[in-house]
Every structure is written in C-alpha cells, then in structure tokens.
Amino acid sequence: MDKFIIEGGERLKGRVRISGSKNAALPLIAATILQKGSYAIGNVPRLRDVETMIRLLAMLGGKAEWTGDNTLAIDTGSLDNHVAPYEIVKEMRASVLVLGSLAGGLKKATVSYPGGCAIGERPINLHLQGLAALGCDIKIREGYVDVNAKKLRGGRVTFDTVTVGGTENIMMAAALAKGETVIENAAREPEVVDLARMLKRMGARIEGEGSEVVRIRGVEALAPCDYEVIPDRIEAGTFIVACGITRGNIVVENCNPLHLKAVIEKMKEAGMEIEESDSTVKAIMSRKRPISVDAKTIPHPGFPTDMQAQIMALMSVSKGVSAITETIFENRMMHVAELRRMGADIRVIGNTAIVKGVERLSGAKVMATDLRASASLIIAGLAAYGSTEVSRIYHIDRGYEKIEEKLKGLGAKIRRKKDEDLGA
C-alpha cells in the first residue's frame, strides 16, 4: 500500500488546475445506460472510482475507453445486462447509481445491496421508496435489490432526508417513466444539477433542478449526447484550505466559485482574502495565522460534509476555539484521532468537535480512514513541524486526481512511497 511522505512547513504558492468532479462524473456515466448509443464525456477525472464505474459499465455490456487525457468515449449500444454484482458494489457504494438508469433503460435492475462504510450506515431506503413511488416492484433477496420496472410511471417522491444519490436515481428513472414525477425535498447539489443538464441534453424534460422541487415529465426515448463534467468543488475547496493552513497564496483555476460559496465564506471568516473571477479563485493568506470559526455541515448550499475533515485540520492550528458539527453522516470524525496524534487539541461531544487551535502540529505517522479524512491528514502534514507519513492513501486515489503532483506544483514537499520502497 502506498504512503505519502510530507515535509511540512512550505507555504503553498502558484497556480493549480482543478479536475472534473468525481461526484458529477459517476452519475453522468450511469446516465448513459438510459439510452443505447455513443457518448463522449469530457473533463472526466482519472480516478479509481471512475475506473470502477467503467468496469461496472463493462459488466453490464457497455464499453468505455479514454480517447483523450480526460475524455471518455462510451458505447452502450449492446448494453443488456442488469446485474451489478456484490464484488463491484462493495468496492464502491456509488455503484447504486445504476439503479435508476437500469430501471429507466432496461426496465429492470438487480444491484447488490450496499453495506455500511467508514463514515456511516448509509442506507438506500430512500432510493427504494422513490422507485416504489414510480411504480417499481422491489424485492430484497440474497443480498441483492431486485427492481422490476415494467410498470414504471411518474409519481410523487418526498424525501424525508435530503439525498444526493437518491435524487439522482429518481431523476434518471423518471426521465423515461410515463407521466410526471415530482421530487420534493430534492438535493440541490451542483452535481445533481449537472446530471439534470446532461439528461436535458439527451432530451429529458426536467424543471427545477437546483431547487427543492424537481419536476420530470417522462419521455418515450432519449438520445445520446456529448457532455463536459463540471469542475470538482471539493478538490477546489481542499486546495483553498491547504493554502490557508500553509499561510500561502494560490490561484485555483478551472473551478466554479458559485459552487464554493459556503467554503469561500468560511475561509473569509477565517481571515483569508479571496478574489473570484468566472472560473478562478485567488486565495491569499500571506503568512497570517487563520482565525477559528465554527462550521456545521448542511446539504447544499450549506457547508459541505465533504469539506468537514479539511476545515477541521485548518482549525487545529487556528487562533481560538472552534466548534465543528457534522449533521449528515453519523461517523464522520475518524480523522480526529489521527489529528490528535499530530498534536491537535480536539474533543468530540456527540456530533460536534471542539477544536482548540495549537501553535503548531508536529509530523507523525497517521492513517487515512476515508477519502476526505485522507485529505485532512495531508493538509495537516503540510503545516506540521517535521515529517508526516500518511498511510492507506488508496482512499485519496479514489477521489483526488494527481494530488501529489498538484501540491508539488504549489511548492509542497510531498512524495509517494510505493509499497516496494518501504522495506528499503
């Protein structure tokens, strides 16, 4: 297993280019199942999760190949299998995103029931309730969800919790259902809006994406299209926070500042100067120590749960005391114990972490437990005194494209140590 070795203390400076969004790309790839044909999707990040989705598509009878650095040519002309097996779903929960498109496209889906993961239980009850409201017959047997969508029709779906994946699955199934579907308490995340945009380009009739109520009028058939994935707002936010902790000065290119409002506001409160243009964010911390701020994770447009671990790393060296509350996932504080090993002063009460900023963290051997926790440990390592070794970085490879190259480009001292080097 690879590790990152980070020598802390370098201020980040320069320009960094943000990749396409992982969480947008995954449902967009799944959407190609809805309509047989050829698609070209651009700005797709080359990540382990994307490769897993490509493998799943191949298992279903589709084909996908890279035709440029970040362009994926997809052919679903002969896609005819409706089974997403355990082996793939256990590797990546987002595999459940084929539920909606298989139900819409093939009128049946058999998908391994996902288990919990490091950050929480993450049930899929709302996805299933939604599909049932659209006339699907659902059975759970031998660890699989069996969806019979022969009678797929529009319906009213009211989510009692905002769910990104659930909203996406229902939008996809509803695109090819008979009649109108109304999703209430829909997720408003930019990735949901991106999926709606691609579906509309394919001929779907969708209104209200990005608001709490999304209306989809089903059509008889869709048409394949070419599409460009939006920039990854979480990657952009991670670099902005990394700049903050190293008291640096960077320009984040190819991002959408409108998707980053909550993070930008928080960083301004923490003392960062920020200048935005259409597609760049200039983040200026200029040797200043960050100020402690409170943060609470809330579905978009609130502060994203996927940035909680990173802001906590920043708060661990900020001036003052901050309270960070996680409201989306029940077990998303695994990074706390690792940050403490680096000298952070953090106490967890219920779902709130009380972070008392220390002058400096010290390098240590730490272990990544999930994707965003890994990002927080790297951020902490960048500012720590001495050397930090982050192990189990396969988590980071799931979601950050070329992170060490990008950080090196900004002046960080970080290198990847391959497993075989470790004994040497």
Residues with catalytic annotation? 117
Contact 170, 135 (CB under 8 A): no
- C-beta of 258 vs 422, nearer to ligand UD1: 258
Following DSSP, what letter does each residue of 223-265 receive, concatenated?
---EEEPPB-HHHHHHHHHHHHHTT-EEEEES--GGGGHHHHH
Q: Enter the tokens of residue 319.
A: 């001036």
Q: Select 11 or 159, whichever has its Cβ closest to ligand UD1.
A: 159
For ligand UD1, which is the closer residue by CB, 44 or 187?
A: 187
Compare residues 235 and 338 and give the one whose CB is closer to ligand UD1: 235
What does residue 88 show for φ and ψ, rounded to 5 degrees? -90, -40
Q: Quote the CA–CA distance of 59 and 111 in Å, as a whole number.
A: 12
CB of 387 to ligand UD1, least distance (A): 30
Q: What are phi and psi of 98, to 5 degrees?
A: -85, -5
Q: Are 156 and 182 in contact (CB under 8 A)?
A: yes
> What is the full DSSP assignment across 103-142?
HHHTSEEEEEPP--BTTB----HHHHHHHHHTT-EEEEET
Whole-angstrom distance, CA of residue 275 vs CA of residue 281 = 6
Cβ closer to ligand UD1: 160 or 265? 160
Shortest separation between residue 165's beta carbon and ligand UD1, angstroms: 3
Q: Which residue ranges make up the site for ligand UD1 (CB under 6 A)?
A: 23, 26, 94, 120-127, 161, 163-166, 187, 191, 305-306, 328-329
Cα-only R_g, the chain:
21
CA angle, 48 as apex, 44 and 54 as ends, to 5°? Answer: 65
In the complex with ligand UD1, the residue whose CB is nearer, 36 or 127, is 127
Nearest residue (CB) to ligand UD1, 97 versus 379: 97
* CA 307 – CA 265 distance, rounded (Å): 13
Give me the least distance between CB of 370 and ligand UD1, in Å please.
10
If DSSP codes are grouped into helix, strand and coil, which group holds residue 306? Answer: helix
Token pair recorded at residue 105 = 């496209």
Least CB distance to ligand UD1 at residue 161 (A):
4
Instruction: Report the residue closest to ligand UD1, judged by CB.
Output: 165
Measured from the CB of residue 31, what is the shortest distance to ligand UD1 in angstroms? 13
Report the DSSP beta bridge partners of residue 381. none
CB of 415 to ligand UD1, least distance (A): 27
The distance of closest approach from Cβ of residue 126 to ligand UD1 in the complex, given in angstroms and rounded to an integer, is 3
State the virtual CA torsion across 352, 358, 364, 365 in degrees, nearest 10: 10
- CB nearer ligand UD1, residue 6 or residue 255: 255
- Distance in angstroms (rounded) separating the CA atoms of residues 209 and 196: 7
The answer to whether residues 416 and 3 touch, using CB atoms and an 8 Å cutoff, is yes
Question: At which residue do the structure tokens 């509309």 appear?
Answer: 200
**Rounded least distance, CB 411 to ligand UD1, Å:** 29
346 to 134, 229, 352, 373: CA distances (angstroms): 46, 37, 10, 15
